[in-house]
A = this chain, B = another copy of it.
Amino acid sequence: MPGEAEFIERIAALLGRSSDDLIVGIGDDAAVIRKSASQWWLLSVDSQIENVHFRREYTPARLLGHKALAVNLSDIAAMGGTPRFALLSLILPRDLPSSFIDDMLQGMMALADAHRVILIGGDVAASGDGLTLTLTIVGECPAGKILRRDGARPGDVIFVTGQLGLAAMGWRLLERGFRYAPHLSPPWRRLILAHLQPVPRLEVGRALAEDQLASAAIDLSDGLSTDLFHICQASGVGAVIDGERLPVARSVPPELEGDELECALHGGEDYELLFTVPKERLTHIESLRARFTALPITLIGEITDQPQRMYVEHRGRLLPLSPRGHDHLRDGKERS
């Protein structure tokens, strides 16, 4: 089976057509179509599939509902938009208790309400296979005010929100038998919740787009090395990451000590924003930080002119960095 990037290219080549109303098609975090002269719509679809993206045994229903919506909102955040409407397509295993479905929908509703997103439709079917939630999100933005993957230029500085690798560490804990519970001590609970309950960075995304501060942006769903590679591919550039500056997890449980850098570089599902800023706009980062005091916004590297070449500087050495994050076609197996 081909990798995901190759597959998406094949789909784009097969099915890609243009239209006056289509601003951005396949290949970014969301598609963009014209709503009016002054407004654009953003559209994105993403699935949470049992035994691929989650296991039912360790995923509380309420958090699953939250996450299925959160990962979709994150795509809208990565484009700098405001989410408005959602459509939900559900595939339900026949043994799923009604209470699980209710809790799942309530978790989804709580996040939807927090962002004033309205569920406007969907479909549902029972199946002998696992539980799947597919959400389509419709967002909007002022015309022209979007973040794309293809605008990074050599010399631009690379930033990331939040901390990296926490969700991957939480996933490792869950796979080793740890379970989410309110009484779990903070070092474990924080990592597990990073995996089960990601926070879409909608406000930061919107600020980056409105102020036209970022030259490129993406959300960290597949892992830093893979998502940075997507920006490099789309923009025709390379990148150098400063390994010492990466906002890796601190005070991790003993069983994960030593995994911090690996998880920060290649672990997926942090749903933080990765973005590039031209040097002449760097002074604006301070006002962004002043608006989002609770969220670290960290300079982690620089864009170079070597197409698709990525490096990480670590302890005085410059090491090649390959996209080793999650590929939904090649690596699906590891989680099933």
Query: Are the C-beta atoms of B18 and A118 separated by less than 8 Å?
Result: yes
Q: Is the interface of A mostly helix, strand, loop or mixed?
A: mixed
Query: Are the C-beta atoms of B16 and A119 separated by less than 8 Å?
Result: yes
Query: Are the C-beta atoms of A2 and B120 separated by less than 8 Å?
Result: no
Query: Are the C-beta atoms of A2 and B98 separated by less than 8 Å?
Result: yes
- Is A255 positioned at the interface, with any CB of B under 8 Å from its CB? no
CA separation between A44 and B26, bound complex, in Å?
Answer: 19
Cβ proximity bits A18-52 to B, threshold 8 Å, 1 near / 0 not: 11011001100011010110000101111101111
Query: Assuming the A-B contacts A33-B138, A108-B15, are A126 and B85 also in contact, with contact meaning beta carbons closer than 8 angstroms in the complex?
Result: no
> Which residues of B sit under 8 angstroms from A128, Cβ to Cβ?
51-52, 332, 336
Most buried by B among A17, A19, A123, A333: A123
Distance (Å) between the CB of A104 and the closest chain B CB? 10
Partner of A26, one of B46, B122, B126, B134: B122
> Which residues of B sit under 8 angstroms from A44, Cβ to Cβ?
87, 121
- Is A266 positioned at the interface, with any CB of B under 8 Å from its CB? no
B-contacting 9-mer, from A89-97, A155-163, A164-172, A296-304: A89-97
CA separation between A11 and B244, bound complex, in Å?
Answer: 48
Q: In the complex, what residue of chain B is closest to A120 when comparing beta carbons?
A: B31
CA separation between A193 and B324, bound complex, in Å?
Answer: 45
CA separation between A163 and B25, bound complex, in Å?
Answer: 38
Cβ proximity bits A230-252 to B, threshold 8 Å, 1 near / 0 not: 00000000000000000000000
- Is A66 positioned at the interface, with any CB of B under 8 Å from its CB? no
> Which residues of B sit under 8 angstroms from A125, Cβ to Cβ?
47, 49, 52-53, 328-329, 332
- Is A292 positioned at the interface, with any CB of B under 8 Å from its CB? no
Partner of A127, one of B49, B84, B106: B49
Query: Are the C-beta atoms of A134 and B89 separated by less than 8 Å?
Result: yes
Distance (Å) between the CB of A51 and the closest chain B CB? 6
Distance (Å) between the CB of A122 and the closest chain B CB? 6
Query: Are the C-beta atoms of A52 and B127 separated by less than 8 Å?
Result: yes
- Is A112 positioned at the interface, with any CB of B under 8 Å from its CB? yes
Query: Are the C-beta atoms of B11 and A119 separated by less than 8 Å?
Result: yes
Query: Are the C-beta atoms of A126 and B333 separated by less than 8 Å?
Result: yes
Query: Are the C-beta atoms of B4 and A124 separated by less than 8 Å?
Result: yes
> Which residues of B sit under 8 angstroms from A50, Cβ to Cβ?
129
> Which residues of B sit under 8 angstroms from A134, Cβ to Cβ?
45, 47, 89, 134
Q: In the complex, what residue of chain B is closest to A136 when comparing beta carbons?
A: B136
Partner of A136, one of B21, B45, B92, B94: B45
Partner of A105, one of B15, B84, B98: B15
> Which residues of B sit under 8 angstroms from A113, Cβ to Cβ?
17
Instruction: Give 7 CB contacts A-B under 8 Å.
Output: A1-B126, A7-B101, A14-B102, A18-B118, A22-B85, A89-B89, A128-B336
- Please name 8 further chain A to chain B contacts, defined as beta carbons within 8 Å, in addition to the given A15-B112, A128-B332, sorted by A numbering: A33-B138, A45-B123, A47-B125, A50-B129, A94-B332, A127-B332, A129-B129, A134-B134
Per CB-CB distance, the 4 closest pairs between chain A and chain B, nearest first, are: A126-B332, A31-B120, A129-B129, A15-B119
